[in-house]
Amino acid sequence: MNRKVNLLRAALVMIALLVAFITVIFTIQFFSEGKVPLFVSSLFVSFIVVVLLGFRVLFLLAKILSYIKKSEAFSMKTLKVVSSIKQTILAMSIVFLGILPFFYTVADQDDAPGFLVIGFALVSIPFTVFIFSQIVEELFKSATELKADNELTI
């Protein structure tokens, strides 16, 4: 069990490093441009806020891994962390709406309405993850209640 938790923790670190690398590249690209249009600025701000919220989710996932390592996977502490992850993903979903002006402007300039559909698809991904996180929260809630009932029975 300890090896699996360490492997998952290493995967979280690798994801964090990859996201940080991509963020640095986009930031350098954004600031190396001259004057940028407003829709590109909204895309950049949305991207940075989503990255920061994503790092918060990675931190909370690492916290869950530490609870798993301590054999406290189904406790109220874990349930609170899962709830925090759900709220952070909802915030990411709302902030992700900031990229829609970019897709609209590009689709309008290039006369490519399919590009706007791609934008809506990208925006709908965090909402889908939010719904999945609600399901996971309910599963953790049920498992925590079952564990508490079993501890009272024994």
| pLDDT for residue 134 | 92
pLDDT digits (tens, 9 = 90+) for 136-152: 899 988 988 888 888 77
Q: Rounded to an integer, what distance in angstroms lies between the CA atom of residue 105 and that of residue 131?
A: 29
Query: Are 99 and 136 a contacting pair, CB within 8 Å?
Result: no
Expressed as residue numbers, the domain containing 83 is 2-153
Number of neighbours of residue 45 by Cβ within 10 angstroms: 14
- Split at pLDDT 50, 70, 90, the class of 110 is confident
Cβ contacts of 12 within 8 Å, gap of 6 or more: 58, 61, 62, 65
- Percentage of the chain exceeding pLDDT 70: 99
Total domains in the chain come to 1
Cβ contacts of 79 within 8 Å, gap of 6 or more: 137, 140, 141, 144
Predicted structure pTM score: 0.83
Q: Output the DSSP codes for 51-116.
A: HHHHHHHHHHHHHHHHHHHTT-SSSHHHHHHHHHHHHHHHHHHHHHGGGHHHHHHHHHHHT-HHHH
| pLDDT for residue 135 | 93
The label of the residue with tokens 């360490």 reads 6
Mean pLDDT computed over 84-108: 87
pLDDT digits (tens, 9 = 90+) for 28-84: 988 887 777 776 777 888 889 999 999 999 999 999 999 988 888 888 898 899 999
- Percentage of the chain exceeding pLDDT 90: 40
